[in-house]
Amino acid sequence: MLSLRRFRPLYGVCRRAQIGYFPRSRKLATLNAVESTYGVSRLEILPGIHTLPSVKWSRAYLIEGDTLALVDAGPPWGARNILKYIRKIGREPEELSHLLVTHAHPDHIGSASSVAKKTGARVIAHRADTKRRGNGASLNYMGVLGSLPVPLPFFERTPVATLVDEGDVLPIAGGIRVIHTPGHTPGSVCFLEEGTGSLFSGDTIFSDGERVSRSVPFPGYDAEAYRTSLARLATLDFDAICGGHGALLKSGGAGKLQELLEARPELPTWRQFFRSIPRRIKKSQSMTGEEI
Ligand SMILES: [Zn+2]
Ligand SMILES: [Zn+2]
């Protein structure tokens, strides 16, 4: 007799592929619970905060309120799916008022230009990850590449409407505070939704759903600035961590970052990252290439 149980593993694979790099853990169970409440297309991981299932490799988040705001836009070719998700939850792409950029690495801003053009959203970023062009500024993909005289294929220039800095409060979701956390890139920022204590941390810190981890060195990485940013971040009051890769940490974010800095004050290296891969595979943890 045909048993449905035989198809369960296949279903698991399909679900993981659909939602990206969330590890198979209780976080996935939480997501599924939310999905069953709202229907399969809605991935509201915290009240008013969605993770975009169509954005692969990195993570992008949609903040839903009177208007909509997007935190990062993922790699290129993702704009169509982002707009599709907005429609699926019963909203219109034109309601997207802001596109918040945590930093200008291509896996986070590849679709930013296209999303901004199609929705009219204002792109918001820190000056240090932009390049001055004429009277305005546009996102600077990565130091050298951003200085090229012509745009790279598939990476259109993204004009920035608002340059933000430390302490600015954006009029989104009851107030989102900008925390300048240079290190991973000079213009890396975290966005703190003050009402809920949710931190959109980009590639400054990540989580696998239980622990906090840090970025490994990339071109443009400044170890000293990064160390200072992490120490300061650990003194702030935040609960959930919505990282640029990995899984959602639902609570205790600041405390877990403090614990990490006390237990392992040295910054992670690529050597440590590569050595950790077998353990990560074994534990089915998120594999992003940027965290440890
Ligand atoms: Zn990055
Ligand atoms: Zn990244």
- Residue 107's CATH number: 3.60.15.10
Does a structural domain hold residue 6?
no
Number of domains in the chain: 1
Q: How far is the CA of 6 from the centre of ligand 2 (A)?
A: 36
CA of 197 to the centre of ligand 1 (A): 23
Closest-approaching ligand to the CA atom of 58 = 2
Has residue 118 got a pLDDT over 50?
Answer: yes
Q: How close is the Cα of 114 to the center of ligand 2, in Å?
A: 19
* Beta bridge partners of residue 241, listed in sequence order: 199, 249
Structural domain harbouring 186: 20-282
- Using the structure block, give the residue that is written with the tokens 């991981």: 45
291 domain-assigned: no
Structure-block tokens of residue 291: 């965290």
On whether residue 117 sits in a domain, the answer given is: yes
In Å, the largest CA–CA distance within the chain is: 71
Compute the distance from residue 89 Cα to the ligand 2 centre, in Å: 26
Nearest-angstrom CA–CA distance, 116 and 94: 10
Cα separation, 63 vs 193, whole angstroms: 10
Q: Decide if pLDDT at 77 tops 50.
A: yes
Give CA–CA dist 197/236, Å, rounded.
Answer: 10
For residue 14, tell me if it sits in a domain.
Answer: no
Residue 7 is classified by DSSP as G
Q: 141-196: per-residue pLDDT in tens? A: 765 555 566 656 556 789 999 999 999 999 999 999 999 999 999 999 999 999 99
Is-contact 150 127, C-beta < 8 A?
A: no
pTM summary value: 0.82
Q: Which residue has the higher pLDDT, 21 or 178?
A: 178
- What is the predicted pLDDT for the residue at 83? 96
**Nearest ligand, CA of residue 188?**
1
- Pick from 276, 269, 192: which is nearest to 232 by CA? 192
Q: What is the pLDDT of residue 113?
A: 93
pLDDT value at 251 more than 80: yes
Residue 136 lies in a domain: yes
Q: Are 124 and 99 in contact (CB under 8 A)?
A: yes
Residue range 189-235, pLDDT digits in tens: 999 999 999 999 999 999 989 999 999 998 889 999 999 999 999 99
Q: Is residue 246 part of a domain?
A: yes
User: Do residues 98 and 124 touch, judged by C-beta distance below 8 A?
Assistant: yes
Expressed in angstroms and rounded, the spacing between residue 208 Cα and the centre of ligand 2 is 14
* In a domain? residue 259: yes
